[in-house]
């Protein structure tokens, strides 16, 4: 069978990164029949280097703790750490006095072991509520630090899964804390909390709860988010469930109940991909090349991009 290869010319991609297409080599490939084959991820040893940095976390809000991390791995988290490293590179330890050591410890696990925080199904009943709060607290912190999207999105998946496992939703009290502490209106954690309130309006006596009205009246942004959530969600869907809606390219597993879009609470940059489709490489044919350009979201849930 004749193969077709598409060279990806995006910034930072290795030269041998490519897309295979299963179409007739005589015709240029279209965006709908392209299968993306991601380049193999670089190994930990490739990217970690040998330079380390000391990070001192806590102090102002509890005990402080010192961590030693490979600088390259810290910078690979992006956002706050990338910017802070430029400043602190040669000036001693990096200090995060207003943050919690247990949050930073989870980041260390992520960069070295790829482990995204979650709440185990075996967590004792009396510890579940606080574990769920800590998971949301972790998300709020990495969102504040503007870290890489994949960590944000996988943590949000973990929040959905954990609440689903325990047949629970964020409490109104937790939602209030999130709306108070997280100022970014586009925060996906705020959206998840508001969606939780809205889809539970019929099942929970929130409408009789004065705190609920106090929350809505506390500022215009929260009221706007409430109205937006009412127009988007209803009580017949489960916001903790990622629903691929039968899409064969969705890799997250299919469910029989009505959930939300797998990327409903994700953040994505749309990436403009300039690719070169190379056709007719078999049996005496001269290779022909066709340029292609398109937008696609970066999400580990999808195998194909239309
Ligand atoms: Zn996504």
Q: Of 106, 178, 192, 94, which Cα lies nearest the Cα of 144?
A: 178
Structure tokens at 99: 């943050």
* The pLDDT value given to residue 293: 62
* The pLDDT value given to residue 37: 53
| Cβ(183)–Cβ(140) below 8 Å | no
Cα–Cα distance measured from residue 114 to residue 101, given in angstroms and rounded to the nearest whole number: 18
130-139: average pLDDT: 95
Mean pLDDT score across all residues of the chain = 80
Asked whether residue 221 carries a pLDDT value surpassing 90, the answer given is no
* The pLDDT value given to residue 97: 94
234-246: average pLDDT: 90
Question: What is 166-192 written as a DSSP string?
Answer: TT----HHHHHHHHHH---TT-HHHHH
Compute, in angstroms, the gap from residue 157 CA to the centroid of ligand 1. 9
* The pLDDT value given to residue 1: 36
Torsion angle defined by CA atoms of residues 213, 219, 222 and 225, in that order, rounded to the nearest 10 degrees: 120
Domains of the chain: which residue ranges? 4-41+270-297, 42-115, 122-240
Cα–Cα distance measured from residue 188 to residue 141, given in angstroms and rounded to the nearest whole number: 12
Q: Of 100, 48, 44, 41, which Cα lies nearest the Cα of 73?
A: 48
* The pLDDT value given to residue 25: 37
Structure tokens at 44: 């930990």
Compute, in angstroms, the gap from residue 301 CA to the centroid of ligand 1. 6
* Per-residue pLDDT reduced to its tens digit, 41-85: 778 888 888 889 999 999 998 899 999 999 999 999 999 998 888
Compute, in angstroms, the gap from residue 7 CA to the centroid of ligand 1. 24
* The pLDDT value given to residue 161: 95
Compute, in angstroms, the gap from residue 237 CA to the centroid of ligand 1. 19
* The pLDDT value given to residue 276: 60
* Per-residue pLDDT reduced to its tens digit, 79-117: 999 888 877 666 678 899 999 999 999 999 999 999 999
Torsion angle defined by CA atoms of residues 241, 245, 249 and 252, in that order, rounded to the nearest 10 degrees: 10
Region of poorest pLDDT, from 179-188, 227-236, 293-302: 293-302
Task: Please list, in sequence order, all residues whose beta carbon lies within 8 angstroms of the beta carbon of residue 177, skipping any fewer than 6 positions away.
Answer: none
Rg (CA), the chain: 23
Which percentage of the chain shows pLDDT scores above 70? 73
| Cβ(240)–Cβ(164) below 8 Å | yes
Compute, in angstroms, the gap from residue 249 CA to the centroid of ligand 1. 13
Cα–Cα distance measured from residue 122 to residue 197, given in angstroms and rounded to the nearest whole number: 26
Asked whether residue 177 carries a pLDDT value surpassing 60, the answer given is yes
Compute, in angstroms, the gap from residue 188 CA to the centroid of ligand 1. 12
Compute, in angstroms, the gap from residue 49 CA to the centroid of ligand 1. 30
Compute, in angstroms, the gap from residue 150 CA to the centroid of ligand 1. 9
CB-proximal residues (5 Å) to ion ligand 1? 263, 266, 299
Confidence label for 206 from pLDDT (cuts 50, 70 and 90) = low
Which percentage of the chain shows pLDDT scores above 90? 45
Compute, in angstroms, the gap from residue 229 CA to the centroid of ligand 1. 19
* Per-residue pLDDT reduced to its tens digit, 5-29: 444 433 333 433 444 333 343 444 4
* The pLDDT value given to residue 151: 96
Compute, in angstroms, the gap from residue 156 CA to the centroid of ligand 1. 10
Compute, in angstroms, the gap from residue 285 CA to the centroid of ligand 1. 39
Structure tokens at 232: 């988007």
Compute, in angstroms, the gap from residue 122 CA to the centroid of ligand 1. 27
* Per-residue pLDDT reduced to its tens digit, 265-297: 999 876 666 666 555 555 666 666 666 666 666
Compute, in angstroms, the gap from residue 302 CA to the centroid of ligand 1. 8
Task: Residues 42-115: name the CATH superfamily.
Answer: Potassium Channel Kv1.1; Chain A (3.30.710.10)
């Amino acid at each position: 069978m004749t193969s077709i290869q598409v060279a990806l010319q995006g910034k930072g991609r290795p030269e041998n990164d490519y897309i295979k297409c299963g179409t007739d080599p005589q015709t240029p490939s279209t965006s709908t029949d392209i299968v993306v084959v991601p380049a193999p991820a670089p190994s930990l040893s490739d990217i970690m280097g040998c330079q380390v940095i000391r990070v001192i976390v806590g102090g102002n809000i509890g005990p402080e703790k010192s961590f030693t991390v490979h600088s390259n791995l810290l910078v690979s988290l992006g956002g706050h750490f990338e910017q802070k490293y430029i400043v602190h590179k040669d000036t001693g330890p990096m200090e995060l006095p207003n943050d919690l050591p247990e949050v930073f410890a989870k980041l260390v696990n992520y960069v070295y072991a790829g482990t995204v925080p979650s709440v185990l199904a075996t967590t004792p009943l009396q510890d579940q509520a606080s574990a769920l709060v800590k998971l949301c607290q972790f998300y709020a912190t990495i969102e504040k630090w503007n870290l890489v999207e994949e960590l944000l999105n996988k943590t949000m998946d973990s929040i959905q899964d954990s609440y689903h496992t325990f047949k629970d939703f964020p409490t109104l009290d937790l939602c209030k804390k999130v709306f108070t502490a997280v100022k970014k209106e586009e925060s996906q954690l705020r959206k998840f909390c508001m969606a939780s309130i809205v889809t539970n309006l019929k099942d929970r006596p929130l409408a009789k709860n004065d705190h609920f009205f106090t929350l809505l009246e506390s500022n215009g942004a929260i009221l706007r988010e409430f109205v937006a959530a009412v127009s988007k969600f209803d009580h017949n869907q489960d916001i903790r469930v990622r629903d691929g809606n039968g899409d064969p390219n969705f890799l997250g597993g299919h469910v029989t109940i009505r959930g939300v879009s797998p990327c409903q609470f994700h953040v994505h940059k749309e990436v403009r991909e300039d690719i070169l489709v190379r056709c007719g490489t078999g049996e005496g044919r001269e290779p022909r090349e066709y340029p292609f350009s398109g937008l696609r979201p970066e999400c580990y849930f999808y195998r194909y991009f239309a």
